[in-house]
């Protein structure tokens, strides 16, 4: 049984590896792009709920951008802390900043999605940049992104930021997340105009306003907790021109401050990413265990064939892991040495998020509960 399983595993890893080698090469680093000096108005839409610790630093980093024809629409989504007051204070630093305060969430909407939609409706720019309230930008980020956008005649551009982490096990968790995401979602296919597979990243979703509106705006994804990914996926599927780039030295975000925070943060979109299906949860758990844990155990088997096949699985997955980590992070690829432990942590996060979703009858996101029946209805 193990012989057949690991033989199939080697075949699958070879397919993933070939796909990754071809695909990762097509993801350009935004740092190498020239900067657009003059152009149309860019509207930056930032939705924030209880982000008093992050919002000021993020917006101040954006105000230093070399591309100057920018307006900011800051949307305070029912914050109970000082976020709204900080936003208002920021308007005194730059007249290009506008603030919208949302007091009540409309029925049938997730908070962030409604906030981004509300902000986009007030935007005047040719381009819309949807970003989060905790992102740090280098001065050339907007200029380079807009130049790339125009040069490639795009309608949607998403950029992978540097996901910073200060603790070892958190770094390994982030790295494993990106590793798994790469071969599960194959984000590089966004750069293939013949493919219907797209992607989107919340730190940086840049869209042509005309395309965003003709697509149907955030109303198309108003009950999706993974709104950033879904915006890109659905726009590409609808035929809009899309690309993904890396911006590891231009855009940075601390994904989570600790493993505990990561587990809590993933509560909202893990089950959504598995289409709210128990079968997909089981498939994901078994898939991660068989591919990223079991070979590290069976390599100590007394059966030489099993040992060799286990070694083959480990080597092939290791090559792909190193490629992904070097392309999408600034972390050391040596974290592969603890891959099985990190994989078990990831399995735990899947089980935890799924069980909590069922126990609560939905997800709790930024203090608001959304019923599972509503989420599934909008799937």
* Structural contact between residues 274 and 265, judged by C-beta atoms closer than 8 angstroms: no
The predicted pLDDT at position 358 comes to 83
371: pLDDT strictly greater than 80: no
Is pLDDT at 306 greater than 80 in this prediction?
yes
Residue that has been written with the tokens 């986009």 in this structure: 120
**Which region among 122-126, 138-142, 279-283, 374-378 has the lowest average model confidence (pLDDT)?**
374-378
Task: Give the model's confidence band at 373: pLDDT under 50 very low, under 70 low, under 90 confident, else very high.
Answer: low
pLDDT (average), residues 232-258: 95
Res 377 pLDDT > 80: no
Q: pLDDT digit string (tens) for 88-99?
A: 999 999 999 999
Q: Which pLDDT belongs to residue 378?
A: 57
Higher pLDDT, 334 or 368: 334
- Tell which wins on pLDDT, 166 or 370: 166
For residues 39-45, average pLDDT: 97
State the pTM of this model. 0.92
- Bridge-based pairing of strands 156-164 and 205-208 is antiparallel
- What number is the average pLDDT over the span 32-53? 96
156-201 residue pLDDT tens: 999 999 999 989 999 999 999 999 999 888 999 999 999 999 999 9
365, 266 Cβ separation under 8 angstroms: no
- For 163-194, letters b (16+ CB in 10 Å) and e give bbbeeebbbbbbbbbbbbbbbebbbbbbbbee
- The domain limits of the chain are 2-22+266-374, 29-262
Specify the CATH architecture of the domain 29-262: Alpha-Beta Complex (3.90)
Residue 215 has a pLDDT of 97
pLDDT confidence of 1, banded at 50, 70, 90? Answer: confident
pLDDT score, position 91: 97
Q: CA 343 to CA 233: how far, in whole Å?
A: 26
Going by C-alpha positions, the residue among 72, 76, 74 that lies closest to residue 105 is 76
| pLDDT mean over 130-144 | 97
Greatest mean pLDDT among 178-192, 239-253, 363-377: 239-253
- And the tokens for 107? 């029925």
Q: Are 20 and 326 in contact (CB under 8 A)?
A: no
**284 against 274, higher pLDDT:** 284
Output the pLDDT for position 264.
87
Residue 361 has a pLDDT of 80
Beta bridge partners of 45: 73, 130
Report the pLDDT averaged over residues 55-83: 97
Q: What is Dmax (Cα atoms) for the chain? A: 71
Q: What is the mean pLDDT of residues 60-83?
A: 97
Query: What rounded mean pLDDT belongs to the chain?
Result: 93
Collapsed DSSP state (helix, strand, coil) of residue 123: coil
Query: How high is the pLDDT of residue 376?
Result: 66
């Amino acid at each position: 049984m193990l012989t057949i399983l690991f033989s199939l595993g080697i075949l699958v890893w070879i397919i993933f590896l070939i796909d990754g080698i071809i695909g990762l090469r097509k993801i350009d680093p935004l740092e190498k792009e020239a900067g657009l000096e003059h152009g149309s108005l860019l509207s930056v839409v930032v939705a924030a709920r209880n982000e008093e610790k992050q919002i000021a630093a993020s917006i101040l980093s954006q105000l230093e951008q070399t591309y100057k024809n920018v307006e900011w629409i800051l949307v305070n989504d029912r914050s109970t802390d000082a976020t709204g007051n900080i936003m208002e204070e920021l308007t005194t630093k730059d007249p290009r900043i506008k603030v919208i305060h949302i007091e009540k969430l409309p029925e049938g909407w997730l908070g962030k999605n409604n906030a981004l939609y509300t902000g986009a409706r007030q935007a005047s720019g040719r381009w819309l940049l949807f970003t989060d309230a905790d992102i740090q930008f280098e001065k050339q980020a907007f200029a380079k992104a807009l130049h790339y956008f125009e040069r490639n005649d795009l309608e949607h551009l998403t950029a992978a930021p540097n996901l910073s982490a200060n603790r070892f096990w958190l770094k390994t968790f982030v790295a494993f997340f990106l590793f798994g995401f790469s071969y599960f979602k194959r984000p590089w296919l966004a750069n293939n105009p013949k493919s219907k597979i797209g992607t989107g990243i919340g730190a940086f979703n840049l869209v042509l306003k005309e395309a965003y509106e003709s697509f149907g705006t955030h109303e198309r994804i108003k009950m999706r907790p993974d709104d950033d990914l879904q915006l890109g996926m659905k726009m590409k599927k609808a035929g809009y021109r899309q690309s993904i780039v890396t911006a590891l030295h231009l855009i940075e975000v601390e994904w989570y401050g600790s493993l505990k925070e990561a587990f809590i943060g993933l509560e909202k979109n893990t089950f959504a990413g598995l289409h709210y299906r128990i079968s997909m949860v089981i498939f994901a758990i078994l898939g991660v265990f068989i591919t990223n844990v079991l070979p590290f155990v069976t390599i100590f088997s007394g059966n030489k064939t099993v040992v060799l096949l286990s070694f083959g699985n480990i080597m092939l997955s290791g090559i792909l892991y190193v490629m992904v980590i070097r392309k999408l992070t600034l972390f050391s690829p040596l974290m592969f040495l603890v891959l099985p432990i990190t994989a078990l942590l990831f399995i735990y996060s899947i089980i935890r998020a799924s069980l909590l979703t069922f126990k609560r009858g939905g997800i709790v996101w930024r203090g608001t509960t959304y019923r599972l029946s509503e989420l599934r209805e909008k799937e």
